[in-house]
Amino acid sequence: MSGLFQDEPPDDAPPAPEGPGLFGELSEQIQAYRVLARKYRPKTFADLIGQDVVVRTLRNAFALQRIAHAFMLTGVRGVGKTTTARIIARALNCSGPDGKSGPTADPCGVCPDCMAILADRHPDVLEMDAASRTGVDDVREIIEATRFRPMQARTKVFVIDEVHMLSRNAFNALLKTLEEPPPHVKFIFATTELRKVPITVLSRCQRFDLRRVGVAELSAHFARIAQAEAVMAEPAALDLIARAADGSVRDGLSLLDQAIAQASDGVVTAAAVKEMLGLADRELVFDLLEAVLGGRPAAALGITEQMYARGADLGQVLADMLELIHNVSRLKAIPALRTRPDLPEAERTRGAALADRLTVPALARAWQILLKGTAEVEEAPDRRAAAEMILIRLCHSADLPPPGELVKRLSRASSPSPAGSAPPGAGGAIRAVAASASVPVASPARFPATFRDAVALAAGREPMLHANLLHSVHLVRYAPPLMELRPEPAAPRDLAPRFSALLQESTGARWTIALSAAPGEPTLAAQSESADAERRAVAADHPLVRAIMAAFPGARIEGVHDETADMHGLARTGAGPNDTETVNEVLETDE
């Protein structure tokens, strides 16, 4: 806007001065053209799309005359933060067609103040870009300006865009004025990084979160603009632009501008937009996902070749597959989503069919492989080769059972065959036993050999349970599938049933865990500490270590590594530490 705070050309600025420029004469049509994002910038609250909560709150505030002295507008780029700030500035200063109206949520647009703010030349509405003016001196300039009454309007409005870019000292300098501003001053801040704004500033502002605009709302908005521009646009093309905008109205209008310029025949088609955005056909993405999840690498690579020939970026194809897996997973988790009107037809039909056919573990595994694969593609020297390797990996992972199912199959395979049945042949044991209708009984050979091995099953799967088993449980008796434990008073009450359920899931057998009052063994954590102290003592008594300690006063043994110890730091069954090898290992590691 005007003065020192102007940071961009006004929306309704007059044409450039006549005469040749640096690159010669420019036609009148080129000079007069304004991009859609500026031409269709909202001028009233009614023009804002997708921000119903914010608009309703602001309208009520103006109706009740409960207008805050400072506003904090936050949201992703292009959702209307700066636009909302300018509408608030007009609402505060509108005097109406008769020049006698007060603050209103529906500025008239014809009074001198409204027209001056629309033209970006009002002396009392000052805008500063904090991305380029971050220092204390810039804030002091604002503080000095607050001391003077408005020159023309009833309220002096300071709009600070990207406020999170201000320095710490600049924020501190603003705090006192922000807490107790003069009655004729209002502050409006806009930011995309709210977490970077000090809490001391946030607590002095009324916060408004501008949300991403939905695909359906964006598509309808773009259709109205295309009609106003006398441009024919396919609904599918507008949907593609709306999805690519990712909730940003400005980004979407920029893409629509580009699509209109690309349409030589005056019609914006879905095919042209896909080519412009480098997107793969949605049906082909479905075909590709079905091929890889069906374990058909030849079909998957054939579809990939077809996409690549059309100019699709295979890294983007993997991202499209990630989005599709997410949508299918949501449809599986919440079947009611299938009736939503904003759901594309492909997701409603083929997506729902995939959701019915695929299991949650299969979808989760595909998600993890693709998530890791997208990062690999970005780092690979050949993006196409990397993407195809990811797809081949997905194809071969389709036949792999989840870990829990694999344990159950192995448990069934190792159990005795049912009476009267012939022993299964090689390679068919798992299938033969899995097809049996009898209840599987786990073989004792599948049980953890020791209590420590049973506790190790909880590591990585249930960290809190594992920690409680280490520090708060004393073993009294271990006779799988039965054990007696003495938990300490601090142990959770549900420790025994949780441990039993974990063991049953891991071994396929029902476990009984009895609670006892007998003293039992020390906790595994206490045993580990004792074993570590013993290893340190043995290492410290080694002649080579004593010589080193004597040569380097103040040196200490940081740790002793024992290859024969298990994950709890205790010697494995039947294994004993070799003192010399242990000390040598420590010395080599330190060196």
Q: Which range has the worst mean pLDDT, 167-181, 260-274, 374-388?
A: 260-274
Phi-psi map region of 247: left, alpha, beta (phi>0 left; psi -120 to 50 alpha): left
What average pLDDT score do residues 87-106 get?
Answer: 88
Structure tokens belonging to residue 470: 């280490």
- Among the listed residues 166, 168, 146, 164, the one whose alpha carbon sits nearest the alpha carbon of residue 155: 146
Q: Which residues contact 453 (CB under 8 A, 6 or more apart)?
A: none
In this prediction, residue 88 has a pLDDT band, given cuts at 50, 70 and 90, of very high
Phi-psi map region of 295: left, alpha, beta (phi>0 left; psi -120 to 50 alpha): left
What residue ranges do the domains of the chain occupy? 3-209, 215-277, 282-397, 444-521, 525-590
Percent of the chain at pLDDT exceeding 70: 80
Cis, peptide link before residue 112, omega less than 30° from 0: no
- Using the structure block, give the residue that is written with the tokens 């054939």: 302
Question: pLDDT by residue (tens digit) across 510-558?
Answer: 888 888 888 888 988 888 888 878 877 887 788 877 777 777 777 777 7
Neighbours of 144 (CB within 10 A): 10
pLDDT at 586: 40
Helix (H) or strand (E) holding 114: helix 112-118
**β-strand partners of 51:** none
- Using the structure block, give the residue that is written with the tokens 């594992």: 466
In this prediction, residue 209 has a pLDDT band, given cuts at 50, 70 and 90, of very high
Hey, what CATH topology would domain 215-277 get? Helicase, Ruva Protein; domain 3 (1.10.8)
What average pLDDT score do residues 447-472 get?
Answer: 85
Would you say 468 and 477 are in contact if contact means Cβ atoms under 8 Å apart?
A: no
pLDDT at 560: 74
CA distance 230 to 426: 72
Q: Which range has the worst mean pLDDT, 77-91, 302-316, 569-583?
A: 569-583
pLDDT at 411: 57
Hey, what CATH topology would domain 282-397 get? Zinc Finger, Delta Prime; domain 3 (1.20.272)
What average pLDDT score do residues 69-84 get?
Answer: 91
Structure tokens belonging to residue 579: 């003192």
pLDDT at 526: 87
341 backbone dihedrals φ, ψ, rounded to 5°: -70, -25
Question: pLDDT by residue (tens digit) across 479-489?
Answer: 888 888 898 88
pLDDT at 70: 92
Q: Hey, do 282-397 and 444-521 end up sharing a CATH topology, with the first three levels equal?
A: no
What average pLDDT score do residues 168-176 get?
Answer: 89
CA distance 331 to 326: 9
CATH superfamily for domain 3-209 = P-loop containing nucleotide triphosphate hydrolases (3.40.50.300)
Would you say 81 and 164 are in contact if contact means Cβ atoms under 8 Å apart?
A: no
Would you say 540 and 548 are in contact if contact means Cβ atoms under 8 Å apart?
A: no
The CA–CA distances, whole Å, from 167 to 81, 170, 174 equal 21, 5, 11
Question: Is residue 22 predicted with pLDDT exceeding 70?
Answer: no
- Using the structure block, give the residue that is written with the tokens 């000079």: 31
Helix (H) or strand (E) holding 129: strand 125-129
Q: Which residues contact 356 (CB under 8 A, 6 or more apart)?
A: 332
Question: Is residue 24 predicted with pLDDT exceeding 70?
Answer: no
The identity of residue 129, as a single letter, is D
Q: Which range has the worst mean pLDDT, 240-249, 295-304, 390-399, 556-565?
A: 556-565
- Among the listed residues 112, 71, 120, 70, the one whose alpha carbon sits nearest the alpha carbon of residue 94: 112
pLDDT at 207: 92
What average pLDDT score do residues 158-162 get?
Answer: 91
The identity of residue 321, as a single letter, is M
Question: pLDDT by residue (tens digit) across 373-418?
Answer: 888 888 888 888 999 999 998 888 876 666 556 556 555 655 554 4
Does domain 444-521 fall into CATH 3.30.300? Answer: yes
More confident site: 276 or 116? 116
H helices of 263-333, in order, are 270-277, 282-293, 297-309, 314-333
In this prediction, residue 31 has a pLDDT band, given cuts at 50, 70 and 90, of low
Structure tokens belonging to residue 438: 């009898």
What one-character DSSP code corresponds to residue 446? G
- Using the structure block, give the residue that is written with the tokens 């200490």: 556
The identity of residue 415, as a single letter, is S
More confident site: 13 or 135? 135
Would you say 375 and 386 are in contact if contact means Cβ atoms under 8 Å apart?
A: no
Question: Is residue 302 predicted with pLDDT exceeding 50?
Answer: yes
The CA–CA distances, whole Å, from 448 to 195, 288, 439, 521 equal 48, 42, 21, 18
pLDDT at 56: 93
pLDDT at 55: 92
**β-strand partners of 189:** 72, 160
Helix count (H) and strand count (E) of the chain? Answer: 27, 10
At 240 the three-state DSSP class reads helix
CA distance 163 to 358: 47
Question: Is residue 247 predicted with pLDDT exceeding 80?
Answer: yes
